[in-house]
Amino acid sequence: MGKDLYREAGVDLDKANELVDRIRPLVRSTFTSGVITDIGGFGGLFSVNCHQMSQPVLVSSTDGVGTKLKVAFLANRHDSVGIDLVAMCVNDIIVQGARPLFFLDYLALGRVDLDLIEDLVAGIARGCKEAGCSLIGGETAEMPDFYRDGEYDMAGFAVGLVDNGDIIDGSTIRVGDQIVGIASSGLHSNGYSLVRRIIFDRLGLQPDSYLGECGRTVAEELLEPTRIYVEPVLKVMRQYRISGMAHITGGGFYDNIPRILPKACQALFHKGSWNVPPIFDFLREQGGISEEEMYRVFNNGIGYVLVVEASKSQEIIQLLNAMGRPAYRIGEIVPREEKAPPVRIVDR
């Protein structure tokens, strides 16, 4: 019997060990003071400093990047989807007022490609540093015959911390509150099954095709990373009372906003009150997408929403703009009549 039958079957343990050595500096670059283990252990240990909290609560989230990965495969560009992975998790955590503590990733592929995985982990590390959380663990699963060469899937897991008395769940939202929207960086990581059908199947474009409406190539536009809102949102939370927040992901306005609204309240949004990136108009026109579906599938230029006191909305907008995060007053909370929808989007 040969000595390398496992390698012949498609799993290279030596390459897996080399991978750990290559990504160790990337992972260590994300470590905060709470990390008390190094990469390579059976579990990641994190010391939580919560002495100033009366009742600390852990908040967790898990997500993936979805079929946006298919665009990365086509373009052979893998340095940004790791940022998406972190963003999709940590943006959900801050909705409830939590500060992200640490992050773990799961990567599965047919065979270990050291350069590809290093690109992926580098993106994850950049996302973690931007979110202020530590990458304390992960799993790389080499699964021959399960994935095509050059293809992979990834999932992320984030844990944050909030004091029980500071949890933001939308229960204090009141009629008269204003809705502040923070600009997205583009499509983020949602609706890509529809996007790919329009861009690649219907229009026959390639990753290096130039989108004149957007001023860059298909790959540059579609692989723009999801914006991470941790730093600006936490800063607003330290200075102002926030009644509710929502991360505008899959489901768009119509499905995400109702998750935080009291039954007696309706969120009224005003079209034209924020800048819509050109990729959304391009997709709507080229795909023949209805306005209602646009707002159900995509973020349409608003990646994160805060519900705040009307008297403070302009100050919050100014603070966000000063941090380089364009923000707008995009609507208000009004009484919800019986059988009325929780969300309405109307002309300005």
Q: Are residues 190 and 300 located together in one domain of the fold?
A: yes
Distance CA 21, CA 294 (A): 45
CA 139/CA 143 separation, integer angstroms: 12
Tell me what the mean pLDDT of segment 289-311 comes to: 97
Token pair of 73, please?
């495969």
| Locus of tokens 């949602």 | 190
* SS3 of residue 331 by DSSP: strand
Please report, for the domain that includes residue 318, its CATH number. Answer: 3.90.650.10
**Under 8 Å between Cβ of 301 and 183:** yes
Mean pLDDT across 39-62: 88
Whether residue 219 contacts residue 207, with contact meaning beta carbons closer than 8 Å, is answered with yes
For position 3, what pLDDT does the model report? 64
The DSSP element (H or E) to which 319 belongs, if any, is: helix 313-322
| 340: confidence class by pLDDT, cuts 50, 70, 90 | very high
SS3 67: coil
Last residue of a domain, one of 114, 135, 166: 166
Residue 113 in any domain: the answer is yes
Summarize the confidence of residues 234-243 as an average pLDDT: 97
Q: CA 153 to CA 147: how far, in whole Å? A: 9
Domain with 185 in it: 178-347
The pLDDT of 285-299, averaged and rounded, is: 96
* Whole-structure pTM value: 0.93
Residue 4: band (very low, low, confident or very high) from pLDDT cuts 50, 70, 90: confident
Residue range 54-62: mean pLDDT, rounded: 96
Output the pLDDT for position 25.
Answer: 86
Beta carbons of 305 and 179 less than 8 angstroms apart: yes
Q: In the chain, what percentage of residues exceed pLDDT 70? A: 99
- At residue 89, does pLDDT exceed 60? yes
Element containing residue 182 per DSSP (H, E): strand 178-183
Q: Residue 318 above 80 pLDDT?
A: yes
Flag whether pLDDT at 200 surpasses 70.
Answer: yes
Separation between Cα atoms, residue 231 and residue 249, nearest integer Å? 19
Task: Please indicate, yes or no, if residue 30 is contained in any of the structural domains.
Answer: yes
Inside any domain, residue 173: no
- The pLDDT of 288-292, averaged and rounded, is 96
- pLDDT at position 2 is 55
Stretch 9-25: mean pLDDT: 79
Asked if 75 contacts 177 with a C-beta cutoff of 8 angstroms, the reply is: no
Q: What is the pLDDT of residues 177-196, one digit of tens each?
A: 999 999 999 999 999 999 99
Q: What is the model's pLDDT at position 32?
A: 85
Count of Cβ atoms closer than 10 Å to residue 225 Cβ = 23
- The CA distance from 219 to 224, in Å, is 8
7 pLDDT above the threshold of 80 = no
- Whole-number Å distance between alpha carbons of 263 and 267: 11
More confident residue, 158 or 22: 158
* Cα–Cα dist 342/323, whole Å: 31
Q: Does residue 17 lie in a domain region? A: yes
Per-residue pLDDT at 45 exceeds 60: yes
**Rounded Cα–Cα distance for residues 334 and 330 (Å):** 13
162 and 227 assigned to the same domain:
no
- Mean pLDDT (the chain, rounded): 94
- Mean pLDDT, range 75-81, rounded to an integer: 96
Same domain for 239 and 185? Answer: yes
Per-residue pLDDT of 107-165, as tens digits, reads 999 998 999 999 999 999 999 999 999 999 999 999 998 999 889 999 999 999 999 99
Q: How many CB atoms lie within 10 A of CB 327?
A: 24
Beta strand 210-211 pairing with 134-142: unpaired
Does residue 189 belong to any structural domain of this protein?
yes
Q: Is the pLDDT of residue 64 over 90?
A: yes
SS3 81: helix
Long-range CB contact pairs, 288-297, < 8 A, 24+: 289/194, 292/254, 294/252, 295/252, 295/253, 295/254, 295/345, 296/251, 296/252, 296/253, 296/254, 296/255, 297/190, 297/191, 297/194, 297/250, 297/252
Confidence bin at 348 (pLDDT 50/70/90): confident
Q: Which of 166, 196, 214 is the last residue of a domain?
A: 166
Tokens of 279: 């990729």
Span 285-314, mean pLDDT? 97
34 has a pLDDT exceeding 90: no
Instruction: Look at residue 30 in the predicted model and tell me its pLDDT.
Output: 87
DSSP 197: I
**Quick one: 266 and 206 in the same domain?**
yes
For the chain, how many structural domains are there in total?
Answer: 2
Same domain, 189 and 326: yes
Strands 178-183 and 302-308: antiparallel
Looking at the fold, whether 60 and 135 belong to one and the same domain comes out as yes
* Residue 325 and residue 302 share a domain: yes
pLDDT over 80 at 6, yes or no:
no
Among the candidates 133, 166, 199, a domain finishes at 166
Least reliable range by pLDDT among 48-57, 179-188, 273-282: 48-57
- Region 298-316 average pLDDT: 97
Whether 171 is covered by a domain: the verdict is: no
Q: Is residue 62 part of a domain?
A: yes
Do 13 and 158 lie in one domain? The reply is: yes
Q: Are residues 202 and 149 in the same domain?
A: no
DSSP 172: T
Contact 128, 160 (CB under 8 A): no
Same domain, 99 and 210: no
